[in-house]
Structure 1
Amino acid sequence: MTIPDSIIIVGSGEFGLSTALALTTRPNFSHTKITLLDRLPFPSADGSSIDSSRIVRPDYSDPCYARLCHDAQQIWRGDIPSDPLHGIGDEDRYTEQGLVLTAEEGSGEYVEKSFSTVGRVLKEVGARCELELLKDQAGIERVCKGRTQKANGVHAFGQRGYVNWTSGWANAEEAVRFVRKRVEGTGRVGFEEAVVVGLVEERGKVVGVKLGDGGERQADLVVLATGAWTPGLVDLEGRTVATGQTLAYLKLTEEEYQEIRDMPVVFNLSNGIFFIVQHDRVLKIARHAAGYLHLDSDGISKPRTAVTHPGLEIPEESRKEFHEAVKKFLPRIPHREFEKTRLCWYNDTATGDFIVDYHPEKKGLFLATGGSGHGFKFLPIIGRHIVDILEGVEGAEYKTKWKWPQQRELVVTKDGSRGGQGVHVYLTKDGKEHREEKGAGFTAKL
């Protein structure tokens, strides 16, 4: 490749920051001007990388991602002192107290494949492997109490599954802040707040970005690391879709927190609901499923967030389901309203694989997107793999897996990790729900 004199990276979340950091470590880019643009002050309040907690797990049915997470966990744990992001897991930014993957009878295929895959992969790489198969509800209840067996009144959340004590969770916002400081410390990257609304093209080549104030910024290469906002900036012809996933946060009393503080992350793959007990005495409840769509007049789903719509809460349907899940799993916690709720916007692909590739028809445009709701755990290492592909490194490990996908279809992610029935729910202009089966067409009116 021809080394660009200037690069604009749009988006200062996980993919954008990690790409910027990796670029600063490559000799080929030592004289390249690198600018990172974001539409909001850092950290972007509605970005998918900014949250109080994200699961970090090698528990995949796909060995590629299991191995990738193992590599990331070495840095999360601080096992590689020479790494540019050494220390990212310190100060409670990473907590490893286990993950319980569960399922209902008749829907545990992903759990079974994950158990087999992660056990094999971790052994192959010589990593710790602390897995235990859970064949019944009693086993699930036992491990959900944590290794200290303190949690009282924990009921089974699923009928079968397994526990991996070498999984955990990260404080996403604090981890991203840590990476930002490391990028700033290089002195190589310029940061600017600017709303990017499109691309500047000349004779079939992208030469910059259009800004919301009517201005433009020029660069030899534009990298879109814009997550769920990507389909609104470039036509991906249905290869990705922005889906809103629901999150809720329940403030715990000190007594409640002390009872369950050592509980592993618990993830029911049949319905997609999971629980994380955070260090700030908050129980996070979320769902990893088909998600909600918010469609514009052209049928493109675009994020609807509390930034663009102040006061936005999750739909009542999800709120009720979360309350029922807490009642079933932790009945000792009395019913109370959530401290807050949030829609977190994924950029989904059909297979759950990322899109990290040059656009096949727009020279000068590189995509680092398609996180599909599972990319954050790779924060410590994803940038170096992105830049391997961008730079054209021979044998780049994930070049084929993350290449520009050929399928063009209504995306409902089918990587096996999503709960529910593969149904998208549409948010209308007033925020109400409109349920339609997948493939029925984009009919919600805005």
Structure 2
Amino acid sequence: MSATPRTPSSVLIIGSGVFGLSTAYALATNPKYKETDITLVDRSDFPSRDSSSIDTSRIIRPDYADPAYAALANRAQELWRSSEWGANGRYTETGLCITADAGGTNYGIQSLKNVREMEAKRLSPDAKVTRKESRGFGKPVIEVLDTEEDLRRVLGTGGTNGVQGYVNWSSGWGDAEACMEYLYQKVARTQRVRFVSGTVSRLDIDHSSTTKIIRGALLNDGRHLSAEFTILAAGAWTAALLDLRGIAQSNAQIVSYITISEREQRALEKMPTALNLTTGLFVISPSAKHIKLARHGHGYTNPTTIPHPELPLEEAYHNPINVSLPRTHLTDPPLPDYLPAEATADLRKLCTDLYPPGAAPHDKTFSPLPIAQRPFAGTRLCYYTDRPHGEFLIDYHPSYDGSLFVVTGGSGHGFKFMPIIGDVIVQCIEGQTPPEFKEKWKWPEQRVPEDQWVGDGSRGGAKGMVLEEEYKKGGKARL
């Protein structure tokens, strides 16, 4: 495989999520690409209302079991904390409480070890206090929580989400939609990127010679976008454009919201995000008078039969493949306005455990119902693009002679890297992948059947659920 020219005359980026927008910004502000035409195409005008990153909040943390990701996330978080990236309410530091049921998890143990080591490097050489203590918080940055009582004290909701764990007060969360809008405006202000609204139906693959190349993309309305170099960063839709079986797979994660009053917001907004690694259930610190309940689990697959995306069109329909693709309220058929019954039950239990009636704050002038008994104000599915071991995939596709670069496999943890990931992706394009990620992010030599994937150890809950099968079991709107 030959490398793409360092300064291609034209670049097409498919997808305006975190990876795509960040890459567009990095290219547009890099002097090496000052003569390069840059086009970014997405199936919806920005912001896409069913994009995973267009949401109320995302966890921003360095709490990873893998030291390489922990260090990279720590670099990004310093920018969230101290620069314009996190300004104007885009970043809030309320802490992250990593919990588990009895027995704990290896991921949690290793994550605690990594954040402790990073925090030790920040010790003041004279006062020997941690960064937060030196800023007047008066408590350790990281606290080990051995009992449920410790968890209740830290969470301050009257309940708990697990029986043991630790809290890292230097973690936080980002206003996801506001952050994406901020990044979009940064890209637009460069006046270097042409935005195109349209659904890519296929990559434009030149099959006429032994060495195949990508010449851009074909849109479903008949338009053609040509480019010397194509970057595919289509998130959970990537599998519609490449055969990624055994490499990456889209999975749907459950999310719901409960409305609270201004008084309840003030009483609860200082609580840390609480993530139970055993169940995958988590609650992000309340914001904008809403509590977000969700599950970082193994997700639902949505098996879909499509023409083979990499064969010539006349052959593609005779050689279909089955892949998991998103189903949202904008797809055909659209997603129901409720969650499957097992999801509703799981989120209800989380809400009751964390906000038990009689113990959690309750503004009776706002609602006669305690928080745990209120109906969901909204529900949605958030799509991850998973990999066998939870790694990003940031590399050239080996079949297209350096004309196609693939950025996918966010695995539910790409958002927090927003301030730095675009520059890192450009490094990878230029053959300068950080050494600690060369093996992790490279195109795999073998495809691994999805039922053999082990993940990164951070997911909880049941495995093997199929979206349509779960809907057939029942569910009820807005519970």
TM-score by length of 1: 0.90
Please say if 1:131 is aligned against 2:154. Answer: no
Per-residue deviation at 1:354? Answer: 0.3
| The one of 85, 98, 116 aligned to 1:88 | 85
Paired residues for 1:262-281 under 5 Å: 262-281=270-289
Per-residue deviation at 1:118? Answer: 1.4
Q: Deviations over 1:118-163 (max 9, x none)?
A: 1113434668471111111111111112xxxxx4xx2222111000
Please say if 1:424 is aligned against 2:449. Answer: no
Per-residue deviation at 1:215? Answer: 2.6
CA distance in 2 between counterparts of 1:378 and 1:95 reads 15
Q: State the match for 1:58 in structure 2.
A: 62
CA distance in 2 between counterparts of 1:386 and 1:394 reads 8
Per-residue deviation at 1:310? Answer: 5.5
Q: Deviations over 1:333-363 (max 9, x none)?
A: 2402100000011100011110000001123
Query: Which range moved further: 21-30 or 123-132?
Result: 123-132
Query: Contact 1:348/1:413 (CA < 8 Å) preserved in 2?
Result: no
Query: Contact 1:37/1:191 (CA < 8 Å) preserved in 2?
Result: yes
Per-residue deviation at 1:258? Answer: 2.6
Please say if 1:322 is aligned against 2:363. Answer: no
Q: State the match for 2:256 in structure 1.
A: 248
Q: Deviations over 1:380-407 (max 9, x none)?
A: 1110110100122375663332111234
Per-residue deviation at 1:235? Answer: 0.7
Please say if 1:301 is aligned against 2:324. Answer: yes
Q: State the match for 1:367 in structure 2.
A: 406
Please say if 1:142 is aligned against 2:153. Answer: yes
Paired residues for 1:198-213 under 5 Å: 198-202=202-206, 203=209, 204-213=212-221
Q: Deviations over 1:199-237 (max 9, x none)?
A: 111131011111101232110011111111001111123
Paired residues for 1:350-389 under 5 Å: 350-363=388-401, 364-389=403-428
Letter aligned with residue 403 of structure 1? K
Q: State the match for 2:137 in structure 1.
A: none
Please say if 1:180 is aligned against 2:184. Answer: yes
Please say if 1:110 is aligned against 2:118. Answer: no
Higher helix fraction (1 or 2): 2
Query: Contact 1:61/1:114 (CA < 8 Å) preserved in 2?
Result: yes
Q: Deviations over 1:155-198 (max 9, x none)?
A: 22211100000001001110010011111111111111011011
CA distance in 2 between counterparts of 1:102 and 1:245 reads 19
Q: Secondary structure of the equivalent of 1:176? A: helix
CA distance in 2 between counterparts of 1:406 and 1:177 reads 37
CA distance in 1 between counterparts of 2:173 and 2:97 reads 12
Paired residues for 1:32-51 under 5 Å: 32-51=36-55
Q: Secondary structure of the equivalent of 2:178? A: helix
User: CA, structure 1 residues 395+353, in 2 after alignment: closer, same or farther (shift >3 Å)?
Assistant: closer
Please say if 1:284 is aligned against 2:277. Answer: no
| The one of 2, 9, 30 aligned to 1:5 | 9
Q: State the match for 1:31 in structure 2.
A: 35
Letter aligned with residue 97 of structure 1? T
CA distance in 1 between counterparts of 2:349 and 2:27 reads 46
Per-residue deviation at 1:316? Answer: 1.8
Letter aligned with residue 343 of structure 1? L
Q: Deviations over 1:45-96 (max 9, x none)?
A: 1112211100001011111111111111111112xxxxxxx41211211110
| The one of 380, 383, 396 aligned to 1:342 | 380
Q: State the match for 1:438 in structure 2.
A: none
User: CA, structure 1 residues 375+128, in 2 after alignment: closer, same or farther (shift >3 Å)?
Assistant: farther
Q: State the match for 1:16 in structure 2.
A: 20
Query: Contact 2:341/2:470 (CA < 8 Å) preserved in 1?
Result: no
Per-residue deviation at 1:429? Answer: 8.2
User: CA, structure 1 residues 194+286, in 2 after alignment: closer, same or farther (shift >3 Å)?
Assistant: same
CA distance in 2 between counterparts of 1:104 and 1:407 reads 35
Q: Deviations over 1:226-278 (max 9, x none)?
A: 11100111112320110000000010123332321211101111100000133
Please say if 1:216 is aligned against 2:224. Answer: yes
Letter aligned with residue 400 of structure 2? K
Q: State the match for 1:439 in structure 2.
A: none
Letter aligned with residue 306 of structure 1? H
Per-residue deviation at 1:306? Answer: 1.1
Q: State the match for 2:316 in structure 1.
A: none
Q: State the match for 1:148 in structure 2.
A: none
User: CA, structure 1 residues 281+395, in 2 after alignment: closer, same or farther (shift >3 Å)?
Assistant: closer
Letter aligned with residue 161 of structure 2? F
CA distance in 2 between counterparts of 1:280 and 1:407 reads 46
CA distance in 2 between counterparts of 1:395 and 1:256 reads 45
CA distance in 2 between counterparts of 1:106 and 1:410 reads 30
User: CA, structure 1 residues 393+113, in 2 after alignment: closer, same or farther (shift >3 Å)?
Assistant: closer
Identity %, equivalent residues: 42
**Uncovered stretches (5+) of structure 2, i.e. residues with no partner:** 124-129, 133-140, 306-320, 358-370, 475-479
Letter aligned with residue 402 of structure 1? W
The alignment yields a C-alpha RMSD, in angstroms, of 1.9
Larger Rg: 2
CA distance in 2 between counterparts of 1:354 and 1:334 reads 36
Per-residue deviation at 1:431? Answer: 4.0
User: CA, structure 1 residues 99+385, in 2 after alignment: closer, same or farther (shift >3 Å)?
Assistant: same
Q: Deviations over 1:10-57 (max 9, x none)?
A: 111100000001112222211000000000010111112211100001
Q: State the match for 1:440 in structure 2.
A: none
Query: Contact 2:351/2:372 (CA < 8 Å) preserved in 1?
Result: no
Query: Which range moved further: 16-25 or 387-396?
Result: 387-396
| The one of 225, 231, 255 aligned to 2:233 | 225
TM-score by length of 2: 0.84
Paired residues for 1:380-399 under 5 Å: 380-393=419-432, 398-399=437-438
CA distance in 1 between counterparts of 2:348 and 2:86 reads 31
Query: Contact 1:266/1:276 (CA < 8 Å) preserved in 2?
Result: yes
Query: Contact 1:70/1:122 (CA < 8 Å) preserved in 2?
Result: no
User: CA, structure 1 residues 63+394, in 2 after alignment: closer, same or farther (shift >3 Å)?
Assistant: closer
Query: Contact 1:356/1:367 (CA < 8 Å) preserved in 2?
Result: yes
CA distance in 2 between counterparts of 1:72 and 1:232 reads 30
